[in-house]
Chains A and B, each alone.
Chain A
Amino acid sequence: MNEAASNGKPLLEVEDVVKRFGGIRAVNGATLDVRKGTITALIGPNGAGKTTLFNVLTGFYKGDRGSVRFGGEQILGEHPYEIAQKGMVRTFQITKALAAMPVIDNMMLAAADQPGEQLRNLAFRPRAARAREKQVREQAMGLLGLFNLDELANDYAGTLSGGQRKLLELARALMAEPTLLLLDEPMAGINPTLGARLLDHMRGLKQDLGVTILFIEHDMEVVMNHSDRVVVMAEGRVIADGEPHEVRRDKRVIDAYLGEVVVDSAAGEAPPA
């Protein structure tokens, strides 16, 4: 797609990461790079270890071995909040909208550098907290407008539809001003119209804000048409890594995963089932 982007420097370097659950190696020596300024898709059959790898990368699971460098810095073993503060922000496969909080609070929560989150600042620098709060609210309303959620700002997040929650989670992640966004099945369970909008947003983020995106996806049409790079996992390892057209012809990938998809793309023009 974008040659310059595809050749960009790696923002995230994952080397030989292992995550065991008892005797099962859910991630078994995964190695991959995510280049700066790209949209990279992470695909693979169910149980390939994609979500587990996400959890290791973002600190929710402790990796047993290997190395994860983000912007050149080793982050394996750090806490999730430390990794998020460094600019790697994730969403979850099952959306985690903070249901009993208003949409606007969901958004404002995610803002970085809010001095009002510290008790001593509330006591001694209340003005700084209030001033930042005002900025954050404006920023949040702007993003909500972009995602067509601004009219729902004061509704509880729990009253939103599944698709709206996906949008809210993406918008909320953006409030944290990430440099790398990890999206776990952003298209799952949302209607095609909303899905198309989500894809537009992802492309806009890359082009306008320079956000790098790594996303897990099962819809091959989305993967092949909307990503710059594709990483394929199977049985806890990365079996292929390249541009979409290279990956789709890769023998190992066809054997492990795409076999069925060749049929899919033969009927490519037909609407997805």
Chain B
Amino acid sequence: MTLAVTFSSLTDVDFWVSVLVLAGIYAIVAVGLQLNTGFTGIVNFGMAAFMAIGAYTMAILIIKAGFSFWLSLPCAMAASMLFGVLVGLPSLRLRADYFAIATIAMAEVVRLIAQNARGLTGGNQGLFCDINNPSNCYTNTWNDLSDSINNFISNFWADPPSLLPLLIVIWVTLGIATFVLMRLQRAPWGRVLRAIREDEDAAQALGKNTLRFKLQSLAIAALLGSIAGFFLALDLRTVHPLDFEPLVTFFAFSVLILGGLGSYPGVAVGSVLFWFVLEGTRFIDLPDPPFTETRIAAVRLAITGLLLIGLMAFRPQGLFGKRQEMVLGE
């Protein structure tokens, strides 16, 4: 059996830009998870739902309700945060593990509604640009903006990758989110969150309304999820129920664990590493037969899984997590 690696695609700029776009999107999701799970101690398995609500609300408001692109974004963010608060109000009173189960259920409910409310969401066909009516397309405003950014960039770099503007916007957004959350974490507000993570009863006994803080934490994660949802919709140019499967949340959790619980900058590094491994393994050429395309896809996931297992064995706190906090937290 021969195992060969082709390097030709490794130098393909367009390809790596698209990988970095995905890494940025998942980093934004994982930053929300970091706030919830790393700093508040609430295990949120429902990020895919917030992404779906962000993406669908944006697309539906533009396509069906005639909203402008710029108006649809704050509306979609608000919808996602409101949904987060509504879900959190009953479920955040539960114990942490029950809350985690409730969030998986929530994410599946949202996805199944998206799959079945055909009139609104396009069902299993999803929402995409109608070739016969290109004026009514949720990506139009973004495409124009993206083109003008690339026009500007072409002054310095001839023929930039078409996804470069999206890449820039995503990573700037991630940078801002990371900066703001790190500031919040050092503020008294962040101290209360960490106290809730350590021992919610103790925080309550010291006069902290822990439910309110947990709701805020969840609402901010929902906001980040919706933003990641916009970016995914702009990247893929369709909004489809399969893009918001629970797997999305678990990938984001892998990113979080790789980067390290309790470190915001670690999330970005973890995400880049995760996607480079997951996508880079595409270039491992295995003989066909026995390795058909679907089998290779499975092998790629297996390699990524092995990497995570190895990391857990040798560096359980992740790349940037604090081992002491992890050991003491138990």
Contact = CB atoms under 8 A, between A and B. Distances in A.
Interface stretch (A10-18, A107-115, A222-230): A107-115
Interface residues of B, number: 28
B207 interface: yes
A81 B184 CA distance: 22
A90 B216 CA distance: 26
A156 B207 contact: no
Contact of A92 (B202, B210, B325): B202
B207 A112 contact: yes
A100 interface: yes
B325 A84 contact: no
A101 interface: yes
B299 interface: no
How large, as a class, is the contact surface on chain A? 35 or more
Most buried by B among A58, A89, A99, A173: A99
Interface string A91-117: 110001011110001001110101011
Nearest to A133: B188
B329 A109 contact: no
Given A99-B198, A100-B198, A156-B328, A109 B191 contact: yes
Contacts of A80: 201, 204-205
B104 interface: no
Contacts of A91: 205
Contacts of A114: 188
B194 A98 contact: yes
B203 interface: yes
A98 B328 CA distance: 9
A116 B17 CA distance: 40
Contacts of B192: 109, 117
A109 B206 contact: yes
B184 A122 contact: yes
A122 B329 CA distance: 27
A27 interface: no
Contacts of A213: none
18 contacts: A60-B201, A89-B205, A96-B205, A100-B198, A109-B192, A110-B206, A117-B189, A119-B184, A119-B189, A122-B184, A129-B187, A129-B188, A156-B325, A156-B328, A157-B328, A158-B327, A172-B206, A176-B207
List the 9 closest pairs (A to B, CB-CB), nearest first. A158-B328, A116-B188, A84-B207, A96-B202, A98-B198, A80-B204, A100-B325, A99-B328, A100-B329
